Chain A
Amino acid sequence: MAALKEKRTCAQRCEDFGYFVWNPDTKQLLGRTLDKWVYISLYYVAFYIVMSGLFVLALYVLLSTLSPYTPTYRDRLQSPGVVMRPNTYGDEGLLIVYEVNKPDSYTPLIHTLQNYLTPYNRTEQHAHYENEHCNGNKYFTQNEPKDPEQKLLSCPFYRSSLGKCSGMDNSTFGYPDGQPCIIIKMNRVTSSFRHCPILSTAPVCQGRLLVNVYFLFFKQKGEPKNLHNIEYFPPNGTFDLHYFPYYGKIAQPSYMNPLVAVKFNSLEKNKLLKIECRVVADKISADNIHDPYEGKVEFEIEIKNGTAVNK
């Protein structure tokens, strides 16, 4: 015991460690002779080969049980998320701030929208996607494909149906006029509506006034109120039912998300407004406090009017 208790000097410790690394008496390297190292290494190699084999086998069994078209469960996707463009972020969330008189402040926003809408050009989508199911406001249900080569049909969504917000007539999306467009999209979720018919899906946007009190760096939330003078595109402001259900990207590689554009025609200038666009539909919840993007999208917008500031 005594030997263990003695305070060893650093030099002694180093020497001990040196002996541990290479012990010339027993020809041991790090506590083992060379052949022992070979044995133990082989043992571990074998062990890990077997374990990795078992792991791969387990994954193989797992993958072979999965359907290639739809996920087994959608536990986390009870309600689809809702997103918008332009999607610029401030400290707290989506935030659109631009100045009417400064094109630099809104050009990136317009670019985002333009880029986003490019795949929706008529030329990008093949005509044969059009079929009779894409006309009525009814679910476009198809049978799951039998073999991987077979693809399912999907309905086209043309940019033109966004009207003033399509960017085709007015490539500025109304930003310089203080009447900006935003585009709302519902995330794709497979088959989510197969058993739960949606009567209507329409985003409804409500605003809250956020008064900027600059000297206090303090933002005050107002009561929600309906915004006046909002235009929805397509004109009814709904996602048509024939875009649903979604069969997954393997079965339906050509699927296009339907979009709804919102044009705010008379937003108060120089005020930070908080706007929430909520998808109204059965079985789509928009009340999950832990997910701000579930069934709704919230953003803040402030349109600065240079003249107003200058006054």
Chain B
Amino acid sequence: MGKKGDQYEVFVEMGRDTNGEMDAKIKKKKKVKKKEMLEGMKKEMEIDDHELTIEELEMKYSTSTTKGMSSTLAAQVLERDGANELKPPKGTPEYVKFARQLAGGLQCLMWVAAVICFIAFGIQFAQEDLTSYDNLYLAITLIAVVVVTGCFGYYQEFKSTNIIASFKNLVPQKATVFRDGQKSQINANQLVVGDLVEIKGGDRVPADVRIITAQGCKVDNSSLTGESEPQSKGPECTHENPLETRNIAFFSTTCLEGIATGIIINTGDRTIIGRIASLASGVGNEKTPIAIEIEHFVDIIAGLAIFFGATFFVVAMVIGYQFLKAMIFFMAIVVAYVPEGLLATVTVCLSLTAKRLAKKNCVVKNLEAVETLGSTSVICSDKTGTLTQNRMTVSHLWFDNHIHSADTTEDQSGQSFDQSSETWRALGRVAGLCNRAVFKPGQEEIPIPKREVIGDASETALLKFTELTIGNVIDYRGRFKKICEVPFNSTNKFQLSIHELEDPLDLRYLLVMKGAPERILERCSTIMIKGQELPLDEQWKEAFQTAYMDLGSLGERVLGFCHIFMNEKEYPRGYNFDTDEMNFPTSGLCFAGLISMIDPPRATVPDAVMKCRTAGIRVIMVTGDHPITAKAIAANVGIISEGSETVEDIATRLRIPVEQVNRGDARACVINGGQLKDMTSDELDDALRAHPEMVFARTSPQQKLIIVESCQRLGSIVAVTGDGVNDSPALKKADIGIAMGIAGSDAAKNAADMILLDDNFASIVTGVEQGRLIFDNLKKSIAYTLTKNIPELTPYLIYITVSVPLPLGCITILFIELATDIFPSVSLAYEKAESDIMHLKPRNPKRDRLVNEALAVYSYFQIGAIQSFAGFTDYFTAMAQEGWLPLLCVGLRSQWENPHNQEVQDSYGQEWTYSQRLYQEYTCYTVFFVSIEICQISDVLIRKTRRLSVFQQGFFRNKVLVTAIVFQLLLGNFLCYCPGMPNIFNFMPIRVQWWFVPVPFGILIFVYDEIRKLGVRRHPGSWWDKELYY
């Protein structure tokens, strides 16, 4: 114990550089609307408890630093403040979640349509003009579709919420507390302000605690700041900023080692972490890009529907229909424009992708978020735990005047260094012996890098490293019996221990020492090179300096190692080593080497970052960690690419002052929280625009939020990855927040839209790919679904204007929309990407719309028109072959629909009863249905691609689509030929040849679209491309 004080020198310097920046949290003001809230936070943040003396504290909280509070007072305070736990963020009530499913853009469209149907039905009913109940059925179906898809969507989200919920740690936490002078264990949620608590290594800090006494207490603040460096805690006030001072430990951070007692100054939601969590819940959720796209699409549909309806309303009035009749026509046309099946298609497509992502360990909380990743143009990534393994690991060694690289991969699959040198054996021995960390028992089965260790981060790293290279370290240490040791302290900045040798005949003692490299070097007089002890002259010192600087500039923590064999004559067996007196040599030692450590990037990350780059996505690192480490890791994973320089780098290279550097030359930029604090939002925007490669270091939660907002202001769709509570406001603010499933805190998971179950950044790339694919495929599905709207609508228009017997009935339309065409439109979601979508830029949310004018116009007025012609050809064929020639049909409607006329003559003089005509009408419905089906088969084939030829894409590669076509045909046949259908759903067993009438039109659609695609491919940018490419 007693390894108090600072970390090794290099880091202390950096730490101090950045001191005072955390108060940016407090001072930074944001948008005006949030100002008040932040203003409030600022006030609350003004903790002065760290500056009070213990006596003042005792006074303030009516407590005692020896006995703790009295139970009665504690009970009163508990009554006043409530339990010490974070209130779960106001979960949306289930009924609201469900209601949200019923209130999307498309859903609203369908609600309106249903209401219109009811009104039309009401008018007809009031007029006693009820020829059919179609309007009522339609209204009911529309509502049913909304409700059923709503239930489906709700179920999907419910399922993923459950996956997430299962990660919550439900074990109640215990805390050691003194009350009435008694030490006892109580549930942490019973703690109150003023309680005297004891914190030991391994505990979670149960509330914000003002430290009274501490012994070697180190706290891991990473969940709060993202800093991987453990912070020492002690009773002395070291900084006026409560977040920087050493005598306050924060709720939810983990005590790594040591022991401390302290008085609780804040509990529950009033703790720092509680406030950050509540900040997250104060940040509004952004609408997903896909929701915006769907709204835009609904606008188009509604506009077209009203335009068409109004046109035909006028036409009907001119023809001479009654006002109410014309009104009903108007409503029917508006409703006919509603793509009933689209809602189901979109929901199913999104959930298919969500499922596909879940298989790849991305759980999506909100179905619409599936697509958001595809639109993402900026990823703001946290460093610790997301890009890195969040585990200190030995990365480099310097011995024999060479820098050797150690294997830092998670699965030890990387290259190791040459271990044959004698120097390495000495260095390894020092590293293994001068180390107090031990593995927790019972972990033999677990691979070494994943084992849990008792000890601080660097000792852990060294322990694992030696375990991997030397073998069983505990056994090894057993062979070198430890005689005594001097733990690390901030004055010495070294740690040493003295051991007996392995060989029982060799009676020398071995002294091993590690510590800050320059301090170690001071104590050395020789250096070991290739197993030989050489005098440490200036040349070697320079070599040491170079290596030390090199390693330091990599953002690594460097330790020096040295040893000495003590002469058995001077120090015989049983020599009484006194660690206070230091009655043994602590200088003139033999320098063995340097070992440097870093929290290494995850193996998959550089590749993933590269893929993001090729996909046109900017990866910005936003971390609470130190700038040098952040920059080193950024360079390591490719966020700062090779050859990119920051302004400072250029200044150093050209040996000119920073001010003279042309900022435009610097691709990369590292901004720390302090600089950010002084920047206006415009300056930040400029910086983001000027430097493609950005690293933000030492940022506070609010600053993360500001960075996200700034990116959004620049028109980017922003994904934020993070795991800590500190990330949660940014996660919430982002267009898509991605939390880590394993390392992530609950607050982060709650705020996120997507959770990476394996914490693997590379999964994001999969998500991007899937998101882009689903955007493309949704476009195809929508185009497919929209097309048939026209052949469904034109029969009605012709019916109104030319008064032919109705060619296509309402129930039949519903069957097309909701039965036969659903599967094919969903099957387009399985379509492979046309081109390498990961080499394209992210879509421009303002220009690349889901449904653009070209798509709607091409589907409606070209393909849809061809389909209508096919339907009418088939309709007139069926009519003519049954006795009604086309010209006779015109104007036939009033006779045809008169139920009291049983003798309507056809073109051959035959007389038809009403029912016979009705069944003939059903026959027409069926042939029109069949025509649409046949054309839709052609349609689904052309929709497989937007640019490539279908032959290039492969006809049968999408097996689901082939199945869907077969299914569509079978279902169509079933509807036509199942007995009883005529009287239930108005399908007639039609003659087989009528199936083939629309085939030429189907072929025409296919050929026409191939020509279109050929033109688009051959002449990019031409008039043809602009008008016909969707």
Contact = CB atoms under 8 A, between A and B. Distances in A.
- Main secondary structure on B side of the interface with A: helix
A39 B1026 CA distance: 12
Contact of B920 (A1, A76, A80, A288): A76
B873 A58 contact: yes
Interface in B861-877: 861-862, 865-866, 869, 872-873, 876-877
Nearest to A70: B908
Contact of B715 (A1, A47, A71, A249): A1
Nearest to B866: A51
B873 A55 contact: yes
B60 interface: no
Interface in A170-206: 187-190
B895 interface: no
A168 to B, nearest CB: 24
A119 B819 CA distance: 53
A231 B876 CA distance: 46
5 contacts: A1-B716, A4-B845, A4-B846, A76-B923, A248-B908
A108 to B, nearest CB: 15
Contact of B1027 (A40, A248, A293): A40
A230 interface: no
A62 interface: yes
Contacts of B915: 288, 290-294
Contact of A249 (B292, B908, B920): B908
A63 B717 contact: no
A240 B869 CA distance: 46
Contacts of B906: 71
Contacts of A5: 286-287, 292
Contacts of A55: 869, 872-873
A285 to B, nearest CB: 12
Nearest to A255: B909
Of A1, A62, A87, A288, the most chain B CB neighbours within 10 A belong to A1
Interface string A28-51: 000100001001100110011001
B882 A187 contact: no
B869 A76 contact: no
Interface string B265-290: 00000000000000000000011010
A297 B925 CA distance: 28
A89 interface: yes
A75 interface: yes
Interface residues of B, number: 55
Contacts of A70: 908
Nearest to A293: B913
B877 A62 contact: yes
Interface string B872-897: 11001100111101100000000000
B880 A187 contact: no
A69 interface: yes
Interface in B550-571: none
A83 B866 contact: no
Interface in A277-302: 288, 290-294
Contacts of B152: none
Of B286, B853, B862, B908, the most chain A CB neighbours within 10 A belong to B908
A252 B910 CA distance: 12
Contacts of B886: 59, 63
Given A59-B886, A188-B911, A87 B900 contact: yes
Nearest to A67: B908
A187 B912 contact: yes
Contact of A74 (B286, B715, B883): B883
Of B289, B735, B883, B886, the most chain A CB neighbours within 10 A belong to B883
Contacts of B713: 2
A148 to B, nearest CB: 14
Nearest to B982: A290
Interface string B645-666: 0000000000000000000000
A132 B872 CA distance: 47
Contacts of B420: none
A292 B712 CA distance: 70
Given A51-B869, A189-B910, A250-B909, 15 more contacts: A4-B845, A39-B1023, A47-B865, A54-B869, A59-B873, A72-B882, A73-B882, A73-B991, A76-B917, A77-B910, A83-B911, A87-B900, A248-B908, A255-B909, A291-B916
Of B900, B907, B910, B991, the most chain A CB neighbours within 10 A belong to B910
A75 B908 contact: no
